[in-house]
Amino acid sequence: MITGEYRYSLDEKGRLMIPSKMRAEIAGNVMILTRGVDRCLWIFPTDEWKSISANILESTSLFQEKARLIQRRIIAPAQEAEIDKSGRMSIPQTLREYAHLKKECIVLGMLRYVEIWDEETYMRYLESTEDSFKEAAEELGGKINWWHS
């Protein structure tokens, strides 16, 4: 289970640190990097990626508009990325541009995968979703049993 929120800066060579606590959770040093849903990048451990991409393929058809949307945005841009000996990953330019990565980045552990955000973009995201978050939390609070009885 990968979690944690970290801030690192992209160096001049386009490399980004992956926090050691996350590295420790990942088998091997190769991961799959792709576009995420909200102007962020997603990084999956390879086995996680296999099951997710298979899942997406199964549940959608080539002849559906929506399926192609997802495939083109999530599946197609995916590429392998290696973590170097000092724990950094280099982020390909097209993906860097997509997520507007400049210097300061946020690395977010989402349990089964990792998200990379441009810091400013992330802050704006948090602000602009404050209200809907509170609603969602309130709603969720009613649905799940927070305290396993």
Partner DNA sequence: TGATTGGTGGGAAATAGTGGGAAAAAATAG
Partner DNA sequence: CTATTTTTTCCCACTATTTCCCACCAATCA
Stretch that binds DNA, among 6-14, 56-64, 118-126, 133-141 (CB under 7 A): 6-14
What element of type H or E holds 127?
helix 119-128
Residues 59-118 that bind DNA (CB under 7 A): 82, 84-88, 90, 92-93
Q: Are 92 and 33 in contact (CB under 8 A)?
A: yes
Give the Cα separation of 87 and 21 in Å (integer).
Answer: 11
Q: Are strands 2-9 and 104-111 parallel, antiparallel or unpaired?
A: antiparallel
Q: In the β-sheet with 104-111, what is the strand arrangement from edge to edge?
A: 2-9, 104-111, 114-118, 41-45, 30-35, 79-82
The contact set with a second copy (CB under 8 A) reads 1, 3-7, 21, 34, 37-38, 48, 51-53, 55-57, 59-60, 62-63, 65-66, 68-79, 92-95, 108-112, 115, 126, 129, 132-134, 136-137, 139-140, 143-148
Give the Cα separation of 72 and 2 in Å (integer).
Answer: 26
- Total residues at the site for DNA (CB under 7 A)? 19
- With CB under 7 A as the contact rule, the residue among 8, 49, 117, 122 that binds DNA is 8
Q: Which is nearer to a second copy, 86 or 145 (CB)?
A: 145
Under the rule (CB under 7 A), what is the footprint of DNA? 6, 8-9, 11-14, 17, 19-20, 82, 84-88, 90, 92-93
